[in-house]
Amino acid sequence: MMKRVYNFSAGPAMLPGPVIERLREETGDWHGVGMAAMEMSHRSAEFISIAEKAEADLRDLLSIPDSYKVLFMQGGATAQFAVVPMNLCAPGDTADYLVTGYWSRKAAKEAARFCQANIALDTAVNGDTSIAEESQWRLSDKAAFFHYVTNETIGGVRLPTVPVTKAPLVVDMSSSILSELINVNDYGIIYAGAQKNIGPVGLTIVIVRDELLNERKGNGQKDTIPMVLDYRKMADAGSMLNTPPTFSWYAAGLVFEWLKAQGGIEKMAARNRAKADRLYQAIDSSDFYSNPVEKKYRSLMNIPFMLADESLNALFLEQAVERGLTSLKGHRTVGGMRASIYNAMPDEGVDALVAFMSEFERTNG
């Protein structure tokens, strides 16, 4: 029997058990061809079939309209922080940034190297634990796009609504994609690093509306974009302008198949909501644990929590590992604990964490 722990890492994160099984079975000999998917030429008929099926399944899961391209890129979400303004802005253009935590702050800072990044709101004033109403955001008149992060992986803050702006929405969904229902038509661009809810690291999914791809800025920046970062060129080449991250693409495809077998995103969303509710309930019903985020904005994927007595942190983490509950240490900027509970985290994992939290409180409270 393979040893498997409940891994609460924020990313790279736990993959579904059945996907790990498929990887094991298919490594060495994929469907009788005598080699693993990761050994195949990306131009081979076999790999093209893997790549096309992964895209078709993703389109199906998220109901991605034909008027959007799906790009399989590299460089992580961090590369997109630069790639988005490179592709959508001419030098001097303004883009609006909603800053709700660590990642959106980083995105805005990187964007400022390629465009005028207007900070529409920065939640640092309240320690990134809440988000002011839209009426208080300072939007610019002619923004090329409006950028935000749906779910701040570190602070555990989620924007529960889709902003209404004149500018197209560009959204970093790294830690929430495929966890809840979305309407792709609401967005100009959706991007996400794979290593949380999609599959192994190395792949970045970019879903881009054709209209934005086709927009050509007259004054220069477009021509200086490295070709592998140029959305139009990547789209024209079917994301195979150069060698794509074939292993991650293939493994993401297995995750998409698994998601479909689970009943799709609606089913996952209900399960995710129930998992998060259970954990928040455990945190809120005790003075021993706390979560600082205003309820309305709490993340369903990444749940930070503090122990009232921080001197118990190390003991908590040590005993958690003994029970097969790993990677619960909070991000260094927040401290305490953080439980990342993406699609692959089974209900039993959350139950085991909640039971351990209660036991730990009994023994140390």
Ligand X SMILES: Cc1ncc(COP(=O)(O)O)c(C=O)c1O
Positions marked catalytic: 103, 172, 196
74 binds ligand X (CB under 6 A): no
**Identity of the residue, 149 or 325, whose beta carbon is nearer to ligand X in the bound complex:** 149
The window from 73-81, 136-144, 268-276, 335-343 that contacts ligand X (CB under 6 A) reads: 73-81
103 binds ligand X (CB under 6 A): yes
Residues in 25-64 that interact with ligand X by CB under 6 A:
none
**Identity of the residue, 78 or 94, whose beta carbon is nearer to ligand X in the bound complex:** 78
Classify strands 169-172 and 157-158 as parallel, antiparallel or unpaired.
unpaired
Which member of 16, 76, 85, 244 binds ligand X (CB under 6 A)? 76
State both tokens at 21: 């099984």
The window from 20-28, 132-140, 169-177, 304-312 that contacts ligand X (CB under 6 A) reads: 169-177
- Nearest by Cα to 246 from 279, 200, 290: 200
Q: Count residues near ligand X (CB under 6 A).
A: 12
**Identity of the residue, 70 or 157, whose beta carbon is nearer to ligand X in the bound complex:** 157
Q: Which residue is nearest to ligand X (CB)?
A: 76
**Identity of the residue, 73 or 307, whose beta carbon is nearer to ligand X in the bound complex:** 73
- Which residues are paired to 7 by β-bridges? 326
175 binds ligand X (CB under 6 A): yes
Residues in 226-255 that interact with ligand X by CB under 6 A:
none
Q: Are 143 and 94 in contact (CB under 8 A)?
A: yes
Which member of 85, 156, 193, 202 binds ligand X (CB under 6 A)? 193
Alpha carbon 297 to its chain centroid, in Å, reads: 17
State both tokens at 126: 């309240």
Residue with tokens 């803050």: 157
Classify strands 302-307 and 337-340 as parallel, antiparallel or unpaired.
antiparallel
Which member of 78, 118, 140, 313 binds ligand X (CB under 6 A)? 78
The window from 75-83, 112-120, 249-257, 285-293 that contacts ligand X (CB under 6 A) reads: 75-83
Q: Say how far apart CA 253 and CA 248 lie, in whole Å.
A: 8
Q: CB of 282: closest distance to ligand X in angstroms? A: 24
Collapse the DSSP code of 118 into the 3-class scheme (helix H, G, I; strand E, B; otherwise coil) and give the result.
strand
Residues in 1-20 that interact with ligand X by CB under 6 A:
10-11
Q: CB of 224: closest distance to ligand X in angstroms? A: 22
Q: Say how far apart CA 227 and CA 221 lie, in whole Å.
A: 12
**Identity of the residue, 175 or 246, whose beta carbon is nearer to ligand X in the bound complex:** 175
Cβ-proximal residues to 347 (8 Å cutoff; 6+ apart), any chain:
271, 274, 275
Question: What's 123's DSSP letter?
Answer: G
77 binds ligand X (CB under 6 A): yes
- Nearest by Cα to 259 from 269, 249, 250: 269
The window from 43-51, 71-79, 268-276, 336-344 that contacts ligand X (CB under 6 A) reads: 71-79
153 binds ligand X (CB under 6 A): yes
**Identity of the residue, 103 or 316, whose beta carbon is nearer to ligand X in the bound complex:** 103
Q: Are 251 and 23 in contact (CB under 8 A)?
A: yes
Collapse the DSSP code of 69 into the 3-class scheme (helix H, G, I; strand E, B; otherwise coil) and give the result.
strand
Strand order in the sheet with 94-99: 68-73, 204-209, 189-193, 169-172, 143-149, 94-99, 116-122
Q: In the complex, which residues of this chain contact ligand X (CB under 6 A)?
A: 10-11, 76-78, 103, 149, 153, 172, 174-175, 193
